[in-house]
Amino acid sequence: MTLLDFAQGPALHAAMLVMVAGFCARLAYSIAIGRDQDRYWARKQFGIPGERWKLDSFLMHGALFVAIFGFAPHILLIRNITGLGWPSLPIGMVWFAAATTVIAMLWVMAYRLSERTRRELSTLDDYLSWTLVFAPVVTGMLAFPHLGGGSTVGPYAMLLTAHLLSVELLMVYLPCGKLMHLILMPLFRAAIFIRRWTLGAPPAPSARP
């Protein structure tokens, strides 16, 4: 078995198992404590980002979403695992989204390093999370077959292996660090909205004589 075979088979299955188990454990813990105790959000209050940083951050997340869920091979993998699928986006749009992600991530990191308050509030988790997201994007862009059937730089098998292993490392770490809030925040926001809407909905108007 080659390293590529390992990355496409046992490593991928193990990473998925760890990620799902970690998600369930983190979600159960968050529900059990009844509130978010992650210090990242407390620290964030002391380093309120500027409008430019917010724009770059939203741009980074949006472009990353397009690159992940718009690329045909990614959709095929998700369909094989879950049975769910959707139409892919044109490859030019996906490539542009990936390049936008790289540029936005570099800008966000440069802002973090150039601003004293954010440097002091940054932790190992911040830098590790950034690296584990940045590596799959870059290796995926390098491994993508361009005109002529070859990758940007060779050999293709090595780049594909690096891409798969970097994705699997991200999957394993995802439930452990602040990246988990990408899953928890929408769930909790939706739960709060539903609860407020259910309990605070105005009563139906009574019929007047």
| Residue 94 maps to a domain | yes
CA dist 49 → 61, 86, 151 (Å): 16, 35, 38
Radius of gyration of the chain (CA): 21
| Residue 199 maps to a domain | no
Q: Which helix or strand (DSSP H or E) is residue 178 part of?
A: none
Asked if 6 contacts 162 with a C-beta cutoff of 8 angstroms, the reply is: no
Q: Regarding predicted confidence, which is higher, 124 or 155?
A: 124
| Residue 202 maps to a domain | no
Q: What band does 184 get if pLDDT is binned at 50, 70 and 90? A: low
| Residue 183 maps to a domain | no
**107-126 CB burial, b ≥16 within 10 A, e <16:** bbbebbeebeebeebbeebb
Q: Enter the pTM of the model.
A: 0.75
CATH number of the domain to which 112 belongs: 1.20.950.20
Span 27-39, pLDDT tens digits: 787 777 755 444 4
30/35 Cα distance (integer angstroms): 7
| Residue 174 maps to a domain | yes
| Residue 62 maps to a domain | yes
Span 126-170, pLDDT tens digits: 899 999 999 999 999 888 765 444 544 557 788 889 999 999 999
Number of domains, the chain? 1
Lowest mean pLDDT: which of 64-78, 161-175, 193-207? 193-207
Q: Which domain holds residue 134?
A: 3-178
Q: How far is CA 95 from the centre of its chain?
A: 17
